[in-house]
């Protein structure tokens, strides 16, 4: 266990309870700032669980979910891949000797300078969901490996990512395959994200089936190098949740895919939700009445100075 006070790290024995760690820190340091307790072992267990239960799907940690250097260092050492959304995230991950082929630039809306940086660093796998992005990549990185992101929202999810990202998975996806070919770019595969967290497990099988269908179409249109399915994130990460049901469902959905197809994922919350506990300093309380009802307001300090 480590308690992270932004700039300072203290290490505690694994047997010590989170509440005892919080009390120790508050008692010994007159602590008024918020801090995290990070269970490093929990991140390692999550990674082992993934590679044991869903061995064909290579996880690429979604850095945006929690870019804490400790998380990146551990996952880099465990040989995980990374989903980076910006130049800054690529820089952060590459500090720890992560090779370019372990990184997917999984943001369908990239700044030109970030695309140029990816090119400089040889990070060639990148997602797109629009014609404009394909044209941009043609200008700045024509050797990139294109991954077309389709919409595949779960029927039940808190954060519905299809509103922001992904093309419609029939006509629009085929139009983007056609444009990729016409621009002389290389189509590498298809990706989706079911939303976060995913409340409808079948969304994963739906997404995998759609990608399988699109790969077949792309091959008949002449894309020889299409070979990747990226099943995104949306996996639960809370303490006590287990991914057995989801793992079985995904393993079933991919079992008869051609072995030449590489399958990856972009879990974020899965890796870090149960590992991080935020301790905040509740310094003040206000009582007031609204429409005759007592309201309590609590003021907390979670920021560094
Ligand atoms: C492209 C992409 N991949 C992966 C993730 C991580 O999702 P989750 O934390 O649900 O696994 C996100 C989250 O917003 C995302 O936008």
Could you identify the atom of ligand 1 that is nearest to the CA of residue 270? 11
Q: Are residues 117 and 222 in the same domain?
A: yes
Q: Are residues 152 and 106 in the same domain?
A: yes
- List the CATH number of the domain containing 230: 3.20.20.10
Q: Are residues 54 and 169 in the same domain?
A: yes
CA angle, 239 then 242 then 243, to 5°: 135
Distance CA 198, CA 236 (A): 8
**DSSP characters for 125-144?**
EEEE-SHHHHHHHHHH-TT-
180 three-class SS:
helix
Q: Are residues 158 and 252 in the same domain?
A: yes
Distance CA 127, CA 193 (A): 12
How many domains are contained in the chain? Answer: 2
Mean pLDDT, residues 93-116: 97
Mean pLDDT, residues 288-305: 86
Residue 174 token pair: 């085929």
Average pLDDT score, the chain: 93
The pLDDT value recorded for residue 66 is: 97
Distance CA 50, CA 236 (A): 12
Q: Are residues 18 and 99 in the same domain?
A: no
Q: Is the pLDDT of residue 157 over 90?
A: no
Distance CA 244, CA 233 (A): 16
Residue 144 token pair: 């990139």
> Catalytic annotation on 266?
yes
Could you identify the atom of ligand 1 that is nearest to the CA of residue 234? 10
Residue ranges around ligand 1 (CB below 6 Å): 62, 65, 83, 106, 161, 193, 196-197, 232-235, 266-270
Q: Are residues 13 and 70 in the same domain?
A: no
Distance CA 93, CA 99 (A): 9
> Catalytic annotation on 219?
no
Set 29, 53, 64, 116: catalytic member:
64
* End-to-end Cα distance, the chain: 24
Taking CA atoms, 87 is separated from 67, 131, 268, in Å, by 13, 22, 18
Q: Are residues 147 and 82 in the same domain?
A: yes
Least confident segment among 10-14, 49-53, 106-110: 10-14
Mean pLDDT, residues 232-258: 95
Which pLDDT band, with edges at 50, 70 and 90, does 305 fall under? very low
The pLDDT value recorded for residue 304 is: 56
Distance CA 58, CA 81 (A): 7
> Catalytic annotation on 110?
no
Q: Are residues 94 and 192 in the same domain?
A: yes
Residue with CA nearest ligand 1 atom 5: 233
Q: Are residues 239 and 195 in the same domain?
A: yes
Q: Look at the block and give the residue holding tokens 């005892």.
A: 20
Distance CA 267, CA 235 (A): 6
Which of 127, 150, 232, 238 gets mutated to test ligand 1 (max ligand atoms within 8 A of its CB)?
Answer: 232
Q: Are residues 86 and 210 in the same domain?
A: yes
Q: Name the CA radius of gyration of the chain, rounded.
A: 22
Q: Are residues 87 and 105 in the same domain?
A: yes
Residue 228 token pair: 């990747």
Q: Are residues 32 and 122 in the same domain?
A: no
Are 168 and 130 within 8 A, CB to CB? no
Query: What is the domain range of residue 138?
Result: 41-272
Q: What's the pLDDT tens digit per position in 34-84? A: 889 999 999 999 999 999 999 999 999 999 999 999 999 999 999 999 999
Residues 48, 51, 52, 56: what is their CA dihedral angle, to the nearest 10 degrees? Answer: 180
Are 153 and 194 within 8 A, CB to CB? yes
């Amino acid at each position: 266990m480590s308690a992270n006070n932004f700039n300072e790290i203290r290490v505690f024995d694994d047997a010590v309870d989170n509440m005892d760690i919080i009390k120790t820190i508050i008692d010994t340091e007159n602590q008024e700032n918020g801090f995290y307790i990070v269970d490093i072992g929990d991140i390692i267990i999550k990674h082992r669980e993934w590679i044991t239960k869903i061995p064909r799907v290579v996880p690429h940690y979604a850095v945006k979910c929690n870019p804490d250097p400790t998380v990146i260092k551990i996952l880099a050492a465990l040989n995980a891949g990374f989903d980076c959304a910006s130049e800054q995230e690529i820089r952060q991950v590459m500090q720890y000797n992560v090779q370019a082929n372990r990184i997917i630039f999984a943001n369908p809306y990239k700044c030109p300078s970030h695309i140029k940086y990816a090119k400089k660093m040889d990070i060639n796998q990148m997602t797109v969901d629009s014609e404009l992005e394909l044209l941009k990549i043609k200008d700045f990185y024509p050797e990139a490996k294109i991954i077309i992101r389709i919409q595949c929202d779960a029927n039940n999810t808190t954060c519905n990512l299809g509103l922001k990202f992904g093309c419609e998975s029939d006509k629009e996806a085929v139009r983007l395959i056609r444009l990729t070919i016409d621009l002389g770019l290389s189509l590498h595969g298809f990706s989706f994200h079911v939303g976060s967290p995913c409340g409808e497990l079948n969304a994963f099988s739906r997404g995998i089936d759609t990608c399988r269908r699109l790969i077949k179409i792309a091959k008949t249109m002449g894309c020889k190098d299409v070979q990747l399915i990226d099943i995104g994130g949306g996996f639960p990460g809370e303490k006590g949740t287990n991914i057995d049901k989801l793992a079985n469902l995904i393993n079933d959905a991919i079992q008869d895919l051609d072995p030449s197809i590489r399958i990856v994922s972009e879990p974020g919350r899965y890796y870090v939700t149960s590992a991080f506990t935020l301790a905040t300093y509740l310094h003040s309380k206000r009582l007031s009445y609204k429409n005759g009802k007592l309201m309590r307001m609590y003021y907390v300090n979670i920021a560094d100075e």
